[in-house]
Amino acid sequence: MGWGDEIMAAGQARALQRTDSRKVAVTDAAGRVRWHPAWQGNPRIATRSEAAREDVQRLTNGPGCRPYVDYVRMRREFARVHPGRPFTTKVTGARLPWRFTDWRAEPGEIYVRKALRRSDVVVVEPHIKAGASPNKQWGWGRWQDLVSRVDVPWVQLGPPGVRILDGVRHVPTSSFLDACAVLSGARGAVLPEGGLHHAAAALGVRAVVIFGGRSNPANLGYEGHMNLFDPVSGESPCGQSVACAHCARAMAGIAPADVAQHLENLL
Protein backbone atom coordinates (compact mmCIF):
# COMPACT_ATOMS: atom_id res chain seq x y z
CA MET A 1 0.00 0.00 0.00
CA GLY A 2 2.50 2.70 0.97
CA TRP A 3 1.20 5.92 2.52
CA GLY A 4 -1.87 4.29 4.02
CA ASP A 5 0.29 1.64 5.68
CA GLU A 6 2.60 4.21 7.19
CA ILE A 7 -0.28 6.36 8.46
CA MET A 8 -1.66 3.23 10.17
CA ALA A 9 1.78 2.71 11.74
CA ALA A 10 1.52 6.24 13.14
CA GLY A 11 -1.78 5.20 14.72
CA GLN A 12 -0.02 2.25 16.35
CA ALA A 13 2.75 4.53 17.60
CA ARG A 14 0.18 6.80 19.24
CA ALA A 15 -1.50 3.77 20.86
CA LEU A 16 1.85 2.50 22.19
CA GLN A 17 2.59 5.85 23.79
CA ARG A 18 -0.53 5.60 25.92
CA THR A 19 1.34 3.17 28.16
CA ASP A 20 5.00 3.95 27.36
CA SER A 21 6.12 7.51 26.67
CA ARG A 22 9.35 6.55 24.89
CA LYS A 23 9.62 7.33 21.18
CA VAL A 24 8.66 4.52 18.85
CA ALA A 25 11.18 3.11 16.37
CA VAL A 26 9.34 1.41 13.50
CA THR A 27 11.28 -1.61 12.28
CA ASP A 28 11.11 -3.93 9.28
CA ALA A 29 10.77 -7.70 9.48
CA ALA A 30 14.55 -8.00 10.06
CA GLY A 31 14.46 -5.54 12.98
CA ARG A 32 16.05 -2.62 11.09
CA VAL A 33 14.72 0.84 11.91
CA ARG A 34 12.65 2.31 9.07
CA TRP A 35 11.68 5.86 8.14
CA HIS A 36 8.90 7.21 5.90
CA PRO A 37 7.93 10.79 4.94
CA ALA A 38 4.43 10.13 6.37
CA TRP A 39 6.07 10.50 9.79
CA GLN A 40 7.68 13.90 9.05
CA GLY A 41 7.26 16.10 12.13
CA ASN A 42 5.67 13.27 14.16
CA PRO A 43 7.15 13.62 17.65
CA ARG A 44 6.24 10.04 18.57
CA ILE A 45 8.28 8.26 15.90
CA ALA A 46 12.07 7.99 16.19
CA THR A 47 14.27 8.77 13.22
CA ARG A 48 17.11 6.30 12.57
CA SER A 49 19.61 8.53 14.38
CA GLU A 50 17.27 9.03 17.35
CA ALA A 51 16.72 5.27 17.53
CA ALA A 52 20.51 4.77 17.55
CA ARG A 53 21.17 7.11 20.49
CA GLU A 54 17.98 7.11 22.57
CA ASP A 55 16.08 4.55 24.63
CA VAL A 56 13.17 3.79 22.32
CA GLN A 57 10.40 1.21 22.09
CA ARG A 58 10.01 -0.83 18.93
CA LEU A 59 7.12 -1.47 16.59
CA THR A 60 7.43 -4.04 13.81
CA ASN A 61 5.56 -2.74 10.78
CA GLY A 62 6.87 -2.71 7.22
CA PRO A 63 6.77 -4.55 3.91
CA GLY A 64 6.09 -8.21 4.67
CA CYS A 65 5.05 -7.49 8.27
CA ARG A 66 1.87 -5.43 8.15
CA PRO A 67 -0.45 -6.09 11.10
CA TYR A 68 -3.60 -6.62 9.02
CA VAL A 69 -2.10 -9.26 6.69
CA ASP A 70 -2.50 -12.95 7.51
CA TYR A 71 0.93 -14.08 6.25
CA VAL A 72 0.53 -17.56 7.74
CA ARG A 73 -2.49 -18.29 5.60
CA MET A 74 -0.95 -16.64 2.54
CA ARG A 75 2.20 -18.73 2.97
CA ARG A 76 0.13 -21.91 3.17
CA GLU A 77 -1.87 -21.02 0.05
CA PHE A 78 1.29 -20.01 -1.78
CA ALA A 79 2.97 -23.33 -0.96
CA ARG A 80 -0.02 -25.19 -2.38
CA VAL A 81 0.15 -23.33 -5.69
CA HIS A 82 3.95 -22.98 -5.94
CA PRO A 83 5.38 -26.00 -4.10
CA GLY A 84 9.06 -25.65 -3.23
CA ARG A 85 9.28 -21.94 -4.18
CA PRO A 86 10.28 -19.36 -1.57
CA PHE A 87 7.30 -17.30 -0.41
CA THR A 88 7.06 -13.67 -1.45
CA THR A 89 4.06 -11.40 -1.14
CA LYS A 90 4.94 -9.80 -4.48
CA VAL A 91 4.24 -12.98 -6.40
CA THR A 92 1.38 -13.80 -4.07
CA GLY A 93 -0.11 -10.35 -4.46
CA ALA A 94 -0.23 -10.77 -8.22
CA ARG A 95 -1.58 -14.31 -8.37
CA LEU A 96 -3.17 -15.18 -5.05
CA PRO A 97 -5.50 -13.12 -2.91
CA TRP A 98 -4.39 -11.16 0.10
CA ARG A 99 -5.66 -12.57 3.40
CA PHE A 100 -6.45 -10.47 6.44
CA THR A 101 -6.11 -10.79 10.20
CA ASP A 102 -8.69 -9.37 12.62
CA TRP A 103 -6.46 -6.37 13.43
CA ARG A 104 -8.23 -3.01 13.18
CA ALA A 105 -6.69 0.32 12.27
CA GLU A 106 -7.08 3.28 14.57
CA PRO A 107 -6.67 6.81 13.27
CA GLY A 108 -3.05 7.77 12.64
CA GLU A 109 -1.53 11.22 12.63
CA ILE A 110 -0.13 13.44 9.92
CA TYR A 111 1.76 16.58 10.83
CA VAL A 112 0.99 18.77 7.85
CA ARG A 113 3.14 21.87 7.68
CA LYS A 114 0.25 24.22 7.01
CA ALA A 115 -3.09 22.80 8.08
CA LEU A 116 -5.84 24.85 6.51
CA ARG A 117 -8.74 26.43 8.26
CA ARG A 118 -11.91 24.41 7.60
CA SER A 119 -13.77 25.49 4.49
CA ASP A 120 -16.88 24.22 2.75
CA VAL A 121 -15.07 22.17 0.14
CA VAL A 122 -15.70 18.46 -0.21
CA VAL A 123 -12.83 16.41 -1.62
CA VAL A 124 -13.63 13.68 -4.12
CA GLU A 125 -11.06 11.18 -5.39
CA PRO A 126 -12.19 9.16 -8.40
CA HIS A 127 -8.70 7.71 -9.03
CA ILE A 128 -6.97 4.82 -7.31
CA LYS A 129 -3.21 4.60 -6.89
CA ALA A 130 -1.27 3.30 -9.90
CA GLY A 131 -0.65 -0.39 -9.31
CA ALA A 132 -3.47 -0.73 -6.77
CA SER A 133 -5.96 -3.56 -7.12
CA PRO A 134 -8.50 -2.65 -9.85
CA ASN A 135 -11.13 -3.94 -7.43
CA LYS A 136 -10.77 -0.69 -5.46
CA GLN A 137 -12.19 1.31 -8.39
CA TRP A 138 -15.84 2.28 -8.05
CA GLY A 139 -16.02 3.43 -11.68
CA TRP A 140 -15.79 6.82 -13.37
CA GLY A 141 -19.50 6.94 -14.30
CA ARG A 142 -20.55 6.39 -10.69
CA TRP A 143 -18.18 9.08 -9.40
CA GLN A 144 -19.60 11.51 -12.00
CA ASP A 145 -23.15 10.55 -11.06
CA LEU A 146 -22.42 11.17 -7.37
CA VAL A 147 -20.95 14.61 -8.00
CA SER A 148 -23.98 15.69 -10.04
CA ARG A 149 -26.32 14.75 -7.17
CA VAL A 150 -24.86 16.85 -4.35
CA ASP A 151 -24.55 20.61 -4.57
CA VAL A 152 -21.33 21.29 -2.67
CA PRO A 153 -18.05 22.93 -3.72
CA TRP A 154 -16.40 19.74 -4.93
CA VAL A 155 -12.62 19.66 -5.12
CA GLN A 156 -10.29 17.12 -6.66
CA LEU A 157 -6.60 16.93 -5.72
CA GLY A 158 -3.65 15.55 -7.66
CA PRO A 159 -0.94 16.70 -10.08
CA PRO A 160 -1.55 19.06 -13.01
CA GLY A 161 -3.07 17.16 -15.93
CA VAL A 162 -4.96 14.59 -13.86
CA ARG A 163 -8.42 13.75 -15.24
CA ILE A 164 -11.04 15.81 -13.42
CA LEU A 165 -14.76 15.06 -13.03
CA ASP A 166 -17.20 17.53 -14.62
CA GLY A 167 -18.37 20.10 -12.08
CA VAL A 168 -15.34 19.63 -9.83
CA ARG A 169 -12.62 22.21 -9.20
CA HIS A 170 -9.05 20.98 -9.45
CA VAL A 171 -6.68 22.06 -6.69
CA PRO A 172 -3.29 20.94 -8.01
CA THR A 173 -1.09 19.23 -5.44
CA SER A 174 2.53 18.20 -5.92
CA SER A 175 2.83 15.44 -3.34
CA PHE A 176 0.82 13.27 -0.99
CA LEU A 177 1.60 15.58 1.95
CA ASP A 178 0.57 18.56 -0.15
CA ALA A 179 -2.76 16.81 -0.81
CA CYS A 180 -3.07 16.13 2.94
CA ALA A 181 -2.69 19.86 3.66
CA VAL A 182 -5.65 20.66 1.39
CA LEU A 183 -7.64 17.70 2.70
CA SER A 184 -7.10 18.96 6.26
CA GLY A 185 -9.24 22.00 5.46
CA ALA A 186 -12.10 20.10 3.82
CA ARG A 187 -15.59 19.80 5.28
CA GLY A 188 -15.78 16.21 4.11
CA ALA A 189 -14.60 13.75 1.48
CA VAL A 190 -15.72 10.81 -0.61
CA LEU A 191 -12.77 8.50 -1.21
CA PRO A 192 -11.83 5.05 -2.42
CA GLU A 193 -10.21 2.71 0.10
CA GLY A 194 -6.56 3.79 0.05
CA GLY A 195 -4.00 6.29 1.26
CA LEU A 196 -6.31 9.31 1.28
CA HIS A 197 -8.96 7.64 3.45
CA HIS A 198 -6.28 6.84 6.03
CA ALA A 199 -5.15 10.47 5.75
CA ALA A 200 -8.72 11.72 6.23
CA ALA A 201 -9.01 9.69 9.45
CA ALA A 202 -5.65 11.03 10.67
CA LEU A 203 -6.73 14.60 9.93
CA GLY A 204 -10.19 14.24 11.48
CA VAL A 205 -11.98 14.76 8.16
CA ARG A 206 -15.42 13.16 7.78
CA ALA A 207 -15.55 10.79 4.86
CA VAL A 208 -17.61 8.29 2.96
CA VAL A 209 -15.23 5.51 1.91
CA ILE A 210 -15.97 3.18 -1.00
CA PHE A 211 -14.62 -0.24 0.01
CA GLY A 212 -16.45 -2.57 -2.36
CA GLY A 213 -15.59 -6.25 -1.81
CA ARG A 214 -11.79 -6.51 -1.82
CA SER A 215 -10.94 -5.43 1.70
CA ASN A 216 -12.91 -5.04 4.87
CA PRO A 217 -13.56 -1.92 6.92
CA ALA A 218 -13.32 -4.19 9.96
CA ASN A 219 -9.54 -4.06 9.29
CA LEU A 220 -8.86 -0.94 7.29
CA GLY A 221 -11.82 1.28 8.05
CA TYR A 222 -12.39 3.86 10.80
CA GLU A 223 -15.34 4.20 13.10
CA GLY A 224 -15.77 7.91 12.35
CA HIS A 225 -16.22 7.24 8.62
CA MET A 226 -19.13 5.84 6.63
CA ASN A 227 -17.57 2.73 5.12
CA LEU A 228 -19.42 1.15 2.20
CA PHE A 229 -18.63 -2.51 2.00
CA ASP A 230 -20.47 -5.41 0.40
CA PRO A 231 -20.60 -8.43 2.66
CA VAL A 232 -23.68 -9.83 0.89
CA SER A 233 -22.05 -12.39 -1.35
CA GLY A 234 -20.27 -14.15 1.50
CA GLU A 235 -17.01 -13.92 -0.44
CA SER A 236 -15.92 -10.63 1.07
CA PRO A 237 -13.28 -9.52 1.59
CA CYS A 238 -11.79 -11.44 -1.32
CA GLY A 239 -8.38 -9.71 -1.25
CA GLN A 240 -8.02 -10.14 -5.01
CA SER A 241 -5.34 -8.12 -6.77
CA VAL A 242 -6.71 -8.93 -10.21
CA ALA A 243 -10.08 -7.73 -11.53
CA CYS A 244 -12.74 -9.85 -9.89
CA ALA A 245 -16.40 -10.38 -10.85
CA HIS A 246 -17.40 -10.50 -7.18
CA CYS A 247 -15.83 -7.08 -6.57
CA ALA A 248 -17.51 -5.70 -9.71
CA ARG A 249 -20.86 -6.85 -8.27
CA ALA A 250 -20.01 -5.33 -4.89
CA MET A 251 -19.18 -1.98 -6.53
CA ALA A 252 -22.33 -2.10 -8.67
CA GLY A 253 -24.29 -2.55 -5.42
CA ILE A 254 -23.04 0.80 -4.09
CA ALA A 255 -25.45 3.25 -5.70
CA PRO A 256 -24.40 6.89 -6.29
CA ALA A 257 -27.76 8.01 -4.83
CA ASP A 258 -26.97 6.16 -1.57
CA VAL A 259 -23.44 7.57 -1.40
CA ALA A 260 -24.91 11.05 -1.94
CA GLN A 261 -27.33 10.45 0.96
CA HIS A 262 -24.52 9.22 3.23
CA LEU A 263 -22.47 12.30 2.39
CA GLU A 264 -25.35 14.66 3.16
CA ASN A 265 -25.93 12.90 6.49
CA LEU A 266 -22.25 13.30 7.30
CA LEU A 267 -21.93 17.01 6.51
CB of 99 to Zn ion, least distance (A): 13
How far is it, in rounded angstroms, from Cα 162 to Cα 101? 35
Q: Cβ of residue 15: shortest distance to Zn ion, in angstroms?
A: 30
Pick 189 or 247: Cβ nearer Zn ion: 247
> For residues 105 and 238, which CB has a smaller minimum distance to Zn ion in the complex?
238
Pick between residue 39 and residue 68 the one whose CB is nearest to Zn ion: 68
Region near Zn ion per CB under 5 A, out of 22-30, 126-134, 161-169, 206-214: 206-214
Residue selected from 97, 188, 213, 217 as contacting Zn ion according to rule CB under 5 A: 213
Distance CA 66, CA 7 (A): 12
Interacting positions 45-74 with Zn ion (CB under 5 A): none
- Residues in binding contact with Zn ion, number by CB under 5 A: 6
Residues 218-247 within binding reach of Zn ion (CB under 5 A):
238, 240, 244, 246-247
Alpha-carbon distance 164 to 60, whole Å?
38
- From residue 158 to residue 197, the character string flagging contacts with Zn ion as x (rule: CB under 5 A) and all else as - is ----------------------------------------
Q: How far, in Å, CA of 34 to CA of 47, rounded?
A: 8
Count of positions (residues) in the chain? 267
- How far apart CA 141 and CA 252 sit, in angstroms, is 11
Q: Would you say 33 and 26 are in contact if contact means Cβ atoms under 8 Å apart?
A: yes
Residue 193 · residue 136 · CB < 8 Å: yes
Shortest CB 100 distance to Zn ion, Å: 13
Tell me the closest approach of the beta carbon of residue 209 to Zn ion, in angstroms: 17
Q: Give CA–CA dist 72/10, Å, rounded.
A: 24
Nearer to Zn ion, 196 or 244 (CB): 244
Closest to 264 in 3D by CA, of 146, 136, 144, 128: 146
Give the shortest CB-237-to-Zn ion separation in angstroms.
Answer: 8
The answer to whether 25 and 56 have CB atoms below 8 angstroms apart is yes
CB of residue 127 vs Zn ion: minimum separation in angstroms? 20
Distance CA 48, CA 205 (A): 31
Q: Can you give the binding site for Zn ion, defined by CB under 5 A?
A: 213, 238, 240, 244, 246-247
